[in-house]
Amino acid sequence: MNNWVTYRAVRAMLHHLSMPKSLWAEAFSTATYIHNRTPTKALDGRTRYEMFYDVKPDVANLRKFGAPCTIVGPSEKWKKPRRLWVGLQGSAGRM
């Protein structure tokens, strides 16, 4: 993915969801993650991940960037009621 394509994808993600620029790194990481797991004609329908690791990527852990999510745990610790899914970190993700 060239830098301009990544930059535009990140700006679109943040703008569409009215998210602050402070989430730039999470949006960039997510855009790159998805791009590396997207089939491309240049690789005969294979993904960059597949070319590097020689196995098809597992995309079961993908979630929509900015999707509403629920926090499991003591609710008195969380002051803001609105939580959004903003990135991937292992299988847990980030809010």
Please give the single-letter amino acid code of residue 59. Answer: V
- Residues 5-38 have pLDDT tens digits of 888 999 999 999 888 888 888 889 888 888 888 8
Domain membership of residue 50 (yes or no) is yes
Domain membership of residue 15 (yes or no) is yes
Domain membership of residue 92 (yes or no) is no
Give the C-alpha separation, 95 to 93, whole Å.
Answer: 7
Give the C-alpha separation, 12 to 17, whole Å.
Answer: 8
Report field, pTM of the whole predicted structure over 0.85: no
Domain membership of residue 71 (yes or no) is no
Give the total number of structural domains in the chain: 1
- Residue numbers of the domain that contains 48: 3-60
